[in-house]
Amino acid sequence: MKTTNGWRTVDIVIASVIAVAFGVVFWAWNLLWAATQGAFAFFPPAQTILYGVWLLPAVLSGLIIRKPGASLYTETLAAIISALLGDQWGAIVIVQGLLQGLGAEVAFAALRYRSYRLPAALLAGALTGVGAALFDFFYWNAGLDVWSYRIPYALLTVVSSTVIAGAGGRLLVRALAPTGVLDRFGAGRDRALV
């Protein structure tokens, strides 16, 4: 079967569904983030262990759709939905989502959109985390101490995104593949994932 990089209607629909679903998840996750700040008062950068959930759609859509732009599109649209739902950070999350999606996109592009096994998912998760960490390093955390806050925050963001978005995204694809909902995608036909 010949594969192309062109997007089919079903690719756009599924990427959009993932983005809308995670836009709502983001809105709820924003509330959880705010509610858990006190629990991390002992070491505030540790709160970033929760960060990976915000990066999951970039990796998940890349693993499912397997086309250039899937990660970027999905993460950015999810950020737009989150902003429209009224998150506490405002419209800047759209720029943040764009940079996060770009991280996963770079990972899949580096693998020439041909590898979707665990190492690819972990790389996509890690680079999505790098995009998030860099944005936060220079935007949200610019006034904070580099060594005691910004660097640990960045490193823990990358770890969280590697585990939650990378490994978690792959586990979600593996869980969905046997149900048949992914049969129109390489992820559903790739029985090595199951």
pLDDT at 143 over 80: yes
In a domain, 83, yes or no: yes
Q: How confident is the model at residue 3 (pLDDT cuts 50, 70, 90)?
A: low
Q: How confident is the model at residue 190 (pLDDT cuts 50, 70, 90)?
A: confident
Dist. CA 182–CA 180, nearest whole Å: 5
Residue written as tokens 């809308």? 20
Dist. CA 130–CA 158, nearest whole Å: 6
Q: How confident is the model at residue 189 (pLDDT cuts 50, 70, 90)?
A: confident
In a domain, 3, yes or no: no
pLDDT by residue (tens digit) across 89-131?
899 999 999 999 999 999 999 999 999 999 999 999 999 999 9
Dist. CA 135–CA 140, nearest whole Å: 7
In a domain, 1, yes or no: no
Domain span holding position 14: 9-189
Dist. CA 99–CA 52, nearest whole Å: 14
pLDDT at 1 over 50: no
Question: What is the structure's pLDDT at 39?
Answer: 97
In a domain, 182, yes or no: yes
pLDDT by residue (tens digit) across 5-21?
899 999 999 999 999 99
In a domain, 15, yes or no: yes
Specify the CATH number for the domain of residue 159: 1.10.1760
How many domains does the chain fold into?
Answer: 1
pLDDT at 192 over 80: no
Tokens read off for 101: 């999606």
In a domain, 4, yes or no: no
In a domain, 162, yes or no: yes
In a domain, 39, yes or no: yes
